[in-house]
Structure 1
Amino acid sequence: MQKIISGLVILLLCFFINTNVYAQFPMPNHVPIWDANTVTLKLHKITANVYVVSPNTVENETTKGIPQATSAGFIVSEKGVLVIETLLSKKLYDQLYNLIRSVTDKPIVYAVNTSDHGDHCFGNYLLPKETIIIQNEFCKENLSKNYDNTKQFMIMLFGKDRGIEESVYRAADITISKNQNMKIDMGNGNIVEILNVGTAQSPADLFVYLKSPSGNVLWAGNPFIAESPAIPWLFDGYFLEPVNNLNKIYNMISDKDIVVPGHGRITNKAGIKYTIDYVEALKTNVENAVNKGLTLDETKKAVTMKEFDKGYELFNWLHFNFNVPNAYKDIKENGK
């Protein structure tokens, strides 16, 4: 057993020992959670050289609580293009690539993956061979050891025949270790800072923060999955460190910054406050339960947090199967 292995893959190893995978893993009400075969990506021009790419449904469906496919983006400079995310499948990658080519014919110099989840990185094998791939250090190590298991997990949640099976592992060229960052000068005062602040959803997280004279843009990835009514996906087995790091990122940005959630419409600092409010309330409630000596089952019954159940389709699946149990385990073992 490897010494370093993500909570996601720990789950996988348990699931695939038994061929009845669906019986072992708490599944959402419907699979696929979103259908990669039907997603149409749309280009959003932020400034002259900065673009967000997201599903064309995000404006109408995010606030209705309907889970959305992965958002991406790119920045154009005289040196070339920096791409954020390569998405789940060839069909989605090709849409992203064509949107880039609708704007510029400059080479794709950099590609950043903000997570080791396949919907953020499974398109890496389709990148031009000269493109430099940047990942969190843990992300590279985990994918290098567990790519096939990660693919099977993604198929379980997002369905067969969605292009996941065709993905081939391609190693990152540059990695960023925990509590480190990397800055890339894109010219004309545009500085891209790529941050590894530690686990904010999983140990593989990166944040991409463009600081620009025209305004700052944060690609927030899975840690800030979408604005209300979405709640965070804390199923990678961590809680206390994510609470601290979510606050760290939230406090780092300004009210004027543009925020691109991992799976929702373009928003701002106020738009991701719901995630902060949820994890802080969850922490307080579970701490109280632990202090009272409640068991996990008793805690699940007590910590319903109905004030945050505002219509997100995945609320019950995430809150009761992952968020509460992981908070309970982490607080009981490591809380003060």
Structure 2
Amino acid sequence: MASSPTYRTILITLLIALFSPWRGNAQMPMPPKIPIWDANQITLRLQKVAENIYAVVPSTAGSETTLGIPQATTAGFVVGSNGVLLIETMINKRLYGQLIKLLRSVTSKPIIYAVNTSDHGDHCFGNYLLPEQTIVIQNEFCHNNLTGNYEAIKQFMITLFGAGRGIEESVHRPANLVVPLDQHMKIDMGGGTTVELINVGTAQSPADLFVRVRRSDRTVWWVGNPFIAESPTIPWLFDGYFLDPVSNLKQIYDMIGEDDVVVPGHGRITDKDGIRFTIDYVLALQDKVTRAVESGLSLVQTQETVTMEEFNKGYQLFNWLHFNFNVPNAYKDISNQKLRR
């Protein structure tokens, strides 16, 4: 990772790109709709997925995910013998409040742990509202990046999710525990329930953290932004990386059991087969861009050639993500790999 651009550089580059000339004359397009989803309008719903294990998802996720409509952040919690482990704290006070109300409809036990799966604000900007005694857990990069770049990340989130959504009110609350690169952390919640926090490295960004909750009768995953949702959703590879995500997405996918429950970062609850579309997409993109690079095509020629219409199944953000981020980042990494041979 030493040779990779810093996250601050990536953020600044992205923000400049969003408002700079693109392909010579036209301005690089913003998402087709801003906010991508409106945090002032979202309603969260509780879904019990196993004994003492709960997912919290947008009320529209069940009906809209497979229609290609972007969904708000999913969350969840695990009720242990002595307290609760919370997964995600949402983008603003309004959604944090809904999350906690749903939690309190199940248990009055204290929130001992709060886990953030990403440094994107919709997963962690509610941290400042947590009880003082709650132990915040992030991957090590996530903690360092939020500590050094919180205001820049806030501006990035406002750009995509709109002003006046409570993002401005968030203040940084640092992690109390971090999971280093290539490390796992296990937490025994009692009653036969174990939570494992897994840092395999960059699967969307270097800040990714996967959550695996195990009981004797059920395993439940929170897979965050790396696996946004089922088909027709494609991954959001706009953090500047491609080859690491391809490898690490496959690594996590291979760890998931056929009968495991999977809670994507922004969609309805599913299973291993439900997130296969992400793997198929990145492997196909890798193959097609590799062929383009080996043929000597420029980035613009690759964007014009690698349209991947077979994966364009109605996701509203397909063109924005595929042509402006996913293809360029794949091209960059694959070209650099070729130069190092």
TM-score by length of 2: 0.94
Structure 2: distance between partners of 1:34 and 1:129: 30
Paired with 1:44 and 1:192, the residues of 2 have a C-alpha distance of 18
Deviation (angstroms), 1:47: 1.8
Question: Counterpart in 1 of 2:25?
Answer: none
Cα displacement (A) at 1:167: 0.1
Residue 75 and residue 6 in structure 1: after superposition, are their counterparts in 2 closer, same or farther (change >3 A)?
Answer: farther
Cα displacement (A) at 1:4? 8.3
Of 304, 312, 315, the match for 1:312: 315
* Distance (whole Å) between structure 1 residues aligned to residue 3 and residue 308 of structure 2: 35
- How does 1:177-196 map onto structure 2 within 5 Å? 177-196=180-199
Matched residue SS, 2:48: strand
Give the equivalent residue in structure 1 for 2:168.
Answer: 165
Structure 2 counterpart of 1:321, from 309, 320, 324: 324
- Contact 1:6–1:236 under 8 Å retained in 2: no
1:114 match: 117
Shift of 1:187: 1.2
Q: CA-to-partner distance for each residue in 1:265-285, whole Å, 9 max, x for gaps?
A: 000000000000000000000
Q: Which amino acid aligns with 1:120?
A: H
CA offset at residue 3 of structure 1?
Answer: 9.5
Amino acid of the structure 2 residue aligned with 1:207: F
| 1:208 CA displacement | 0.2
Letter in 1 for 2:244: E
For 2:169, give the aligned amino acid.
E
Give the equivalent residue in structure 1 for 2:150.
Answer: 147
Aligned to 2:79: 76
Deviations 1:18-55 (A, max 9, x none): 7x964476411110000000000000011220000010
Q: Which amino acid aligns with 2:187?
A: I
Greater CA drift, 326-335 or 126-135: 326-335
Q: Report the identity percentage.
A: 61
What SS does the corresponding residue of 2:167 show, helix, strand or coil? coil
1:267 to 266, 270, 273: 270
Q: How does 1:207-218 map to 2 (within 5 A)?
A: 207-218=210-221
Query: Does structure 1 retain, via aligned residues, the 8 Å contact 2:18–2:30?
Result: no
1:202 match: 205
Work out whether residues 229 and 264 of structure 2, in 8 Å CA contact, stay in contact via their aligned partners in 1: yes
The Cα shift of 1:127 comes to: 0.2
Name the residue aligned to 1:30. 33
What are the within-5 Å matches in structure 2 for residues 120-131 of structure 1? Answer: 120-131=123-134
**CA, structure 1 residues 234+276, in 2 after alignment: closer, same or farther (shift >3 Å)?**
same
Q: Which deviations, in whole Å up to 9, do the C-alpha atoms of 1:63-99 show, x marking residues without a partner?
A: 0000000000000011100000001000000000000
The answer as to whether partners of 1:6 and 1:203 remain within 8 angstroms in 2 is no
1:13 aligned residue? 12
Which residue of structure 2 lines up, in the alignment, with residue 42 of structure 1? 45
Give, in whole Å, the separation in 2 of the partners of 1:256 and 1:193.
18
Structure 2: distance between partners of 1:282 and 1:13: 26
Tell me the amino acid that sits aligned with residue 316 of structure 1.
Answer: N
Report what 2:136 is aligned to.
Answer: 133
Q: Secondary structure at the match of 2:267?
A: coil
Q: Distance in 2 between matches of 1:277 and 1:160?
A: 35
Residues 240, 327 of structure 1: 8 Å contact kept? yes
Aligned partners of 1:56, 1:124: CA distance in 2, in Å?
23
Whole-angstrom distance in 1 between the partners of 2:319 and 2:83 = 44
Distance in 2 of aligned mates of 1:229 and 1:3: 33
2:70 to 41, 56, 67: 67
Structure 2 residue corresponding to 1:56, chosen from 56, 59, 79: 59
Contact 1:6-1:142 within 8 A present in 2 as well: no
Alignment deviations for residues 253-308 of structure 1 (CA, whole Å, 9 cap, x no partner): 11000000000000000000000000000000000000000000000111000000
2:232 counterpart (229, 250, 265): 229
**Aligned equivalents of 2:38 and 2:314: distance in 1?**
20
The C-alpha deviation readout for 1:232-252, integer Å capped at 9, x for no partner, is: 000000000100000000000
Q: Is the 8 A contact 1:5 1:142 kept in 2?
A: no
Distance in 1 separating the partners of 2:133 and 2:4: 29
- Offset of 1:141 from its aligned partner? 0.5
Asked whether 1:279 is paired with 2:282, we answer yes
Native 8 Å contact 2:289 2:330 kept in 1: yes
Offset, 1:334? 1.6
Q: Specify the code of the residue in structure 2 equivalent to 1:101.
A: R
Work out the CA distance in 1 between the residues paired with 2:90 and 2:332.
32
Aligned AA (1:172): A
- For 2:200 and 2:3, the matched residues in 1 are separated by 21
Q: Per-residue CA shift, 1:218-242, capped at 9, x if unaligned?
A: 0000000000000000000000010
Question: Which blocks of at least 5 consecutive residues in structure 1 are unaligned?
Answer: none
Q: Give how far 1:331 is off.
A: 0.4
| Residues 180/15 of structure 1: CA separation in 2 closer, same or farther (3 Å cut) | closer
